Chains A and B, each alone.
Chain A
Amino acid sequence: MTFGLVKHNNNSISAITSVGLTQGKMTLIKEQTASSSSSISFVDGTSSVVFDNTYPIYIFKFINIHTSQDNTIFQFNCSSDSGSNYNVTKTTTHFYAYHNEGGSDQFLTYAAASDLAQSTASQPLGIGLGSDNDQSLSGELSFFNPSDTSFVKHFFAKTNLSMYHEYNLNSYTGGYMNTTSAIDAIQFSMSSGNIDSGTIKLYGIKGS
């Protein structure tokens, strides 16, 4: 029995370094899975995280973020000192639509309790998260040009979650980190308790 030399584009397979495929421009930078985690942080230059001027656009995807404690807030904050302090000044907006499972209560409203005005506190991305086994939060946060030193740093997010009292909550958050210093780390947490489980993925988007 004989075997011919396997070739591709006239290279033996062991010598192939590229198959000529176009690389996608949305790059998965880092994926972290919560396991009773008090917080999840993405720090530029740490654990393979890139969060600098490599990409002009960053997107965090939240997949089934489950809280250990009922009626909590999923939130985030930023750091300009590589994660030593998560306390960047920000001004934000927050509004949401809700609807209960009973079909009797629905509304679209601005949420003044969840916005911030020149505050260093963490920014809510979803409130009233339920801790039932089947309840969680999903959504995404877009963050632009974090290492820029000329402009404030804009971001916006949309999430959907199952509330502790059996409501669907669709939330929209926008704002800016009011600093011209580079942002080099971001941290996600619950207002109380832990992130029991769930995945946060960080993607970078850039041109060629």
Chain B
Amino acid sequence: MSIVKLNNRSVKDVTAFGSISSLGSLSHIATQTASSSASISFTSGIDSTYKEYIFYFVNLHPSSGSKFQFQGDTGTNTNYNQTITSTSFNAYHDEGDSYTAVEYRTDADQAQGTSFNDLTNYLVVDQSDSSLTGFLHIFNPSSTTFVKHFISTTQIMNGVSNFYSINNFHAGYFNTTTALTRFQFKFASGNIDSGQILLFGLN
């Protein structure tokens, strides 16, 4: 009979099993489902627990054609007007196979701006089968030393009669050393008719 050991102690002598808090690296924090929502805000669960937070956007459908945007804020503030410097580019291709490009979009970036930052460079159209999907990574939002970086990829349908597939890429930083604790998402105009935003923390 072999002696069962844990941390080189026979099991009968073990006084603690240690504190394993998670088997996986991706932890679900919250899910919000849109229902003709003017905006969706995540105001809790964003702190120093995780070094990286990921928002997933699943089939967000606008009430009218509009760009999708986000902002962050500090403490319990709800102004959502933090200073952002960001980049924006996308690739597009129409169903008619006439127009293609990969392009930088100066109308969707910010230079020390306090506006909501675009996560799509063109309107997400309100066709019944149109929606937005994608994700947004926020890195170390609770840092009080560094600015807060973000990286996003989204995929949408745009156009009128001749529809386009558009793959959007946004990245930047909140130019603050104050901890970010909350984020808000919305379409530039109209409501988020339906869809879900899921928030995860990544160890």
Q: In whole angstroms, what is the CA distance A126 to B42 when docked? A: 37
Would B165 and A175 count as touching, CB distance under 8 A?
A: yes
CB <8 Å contact, B129 and A92: no
Chain B interface size, as a band, is 35 or more
For residue B93, CB closer than 8 A to chain A, the reply is: yes
- Residues of chain B within 8 A of A199, CB atoms compared: none
Contact of A154 among B11, B131, B200 (CB under 8 A): B131
Q: How far is the CB of B99 from chain A (nearest CB, A)?
A: 10
Query: In the docked arrangement, what's the CA distance between A117 and B93, Å?
Result: 7
B102 touches A109 (CB 8 A): yes
Residues of B within 8 A of A21 (CB): 20-23
Q: What residues of chain A lie closer than 8 Å to B140, measured between beta carbons?
A: none
With an 8 A cutoff between CB atoms, is B7 at the interface?
Answer: no
Decide if A148 touches B24 in the complex (CB within 8 Å).
no
With A56-B196, A118-B95 already in contact, the answer to whether A151 and B23 are too (CB < 8 A) is no
Which chain B residues in 144-169 approach chain A with CB under 8 Å? 153, 155-157, 163-167, 169
On chain A, the residues within 8 Å of B27 by CB distance are 22, 24-25
A-side contacts of B22, CB under 8 Å: 21-22, 24
Q: Which residues of A contact B102 (CB under 8 A)?
A: 93, 95, 108-110
- Tell which of B56-64, B78-86, B110-118, B180-188 binds the partner: B56-64
* Also in contact, A91 and B95, with CB within 8 A (given A21-B22, A205-B200): yes
Q: Do A208 and B28 touch (CB < 8 A)?
A: yes
Q: Does B96 contact A (CB under 8 A)?
A: yes
Indicate the size class of the contact surface on chain A: 35 or more
Q: Judging by beta carbons under 8 Å apart, are B166 and A26 in contact?
A: no
Q: When the two chains form the complex, which single residue of A3, A24, A152 contacts B25, counting CB atoms closer than 8 Å?
A: A24
A84 at the interface (CB under 8 A from B): no
**Cβ-neighbour of A110 out of B11, B91, B198 (below 8 A):** B91
**Contact pick for A156, options B30, B97, B130, B153, CB 8 Å:** B153
Q: Contact mask B9-48 → A, CB, 8 Å, 1/0? A: 0011000010011111111101100000000000000000
Q: Do the beta carbons of B11 and A91 come within 8 Å of each other? A: no
B72 within 8 A of A: no
Flag if A8 contacts B23 (CB, 8 Å). no
User: Taking CB as reference atom, which chain B residue is nearest A174?
Assistant: B167
State whether A93 touches B130 (Cβ < 8 A): no
Given A151-B129, A174-B165, residue A26 in contact with residue B12 (CB < 8 A): no
Q: Which of B11, B26, B59, B134 has its CB near the most chain A CB atoms (within 10 A)? A: B59
| Contact partners of B25 in chain A: CB under 8 A | 24, 26
B163: A residues at CB distance < 8 A: 91
Q: Which residues of chain B come closer than 8 Å to A180, judged between CB atoms?
A: 129
Interface residue? A63 (CB, 8 A): no
For B28, give its contact among A112, A115, A207 (CB under 8 Å). A207
> A142: CB under 8 A from chain B?
yes
Given A148-B59, A151-B129, CB of A91 within 8 Å of CB of B23: no
Q: Which chain B positions have C-beta within 8 A of A22?
A: 21-24, 27
Chain B residues closer than 8 Å to A152, beta-carbon distance = 129-131, 157
CA distance A26 to B56 in the complex (A): 13
9 A-B pairs with the lowest CB-CB distances in the bound complex, closest first: A24-B24, A174-B167, A117-B97, A93-B91, A207-B31, A144-B133, A26-B26, A154-B155, A95-B102
**Which residues of B approach A to under 8 Å, CB–CB?**
4, 11-12, 17, 20-28, 30-31, 56, 58-59, 61, 91-97, 100-102, 128-135, 153, 155-157, 163-167, 169, 196, 198, 200
Q: Supply 7 A–B pairs (Cβ within 8 Å), ascending by A.
A: A26-B24, A93-B100, A117-B95, A145-B59, A172-B91, A180-B129, A208-B28
Starting from the known contacts A93-B102, A151-B129, A156-B153, 15 additional A-B residue pairs (CB-CB under 8 Å) come to A22-B21, A22-B22, A24-B25, A57-B58, A57-B198, A91-B163, A92-B93, A95-B91, A110-B91, A150-B128, A152-B129, A154-B131, A154-B134, A176-B165, A207-B28
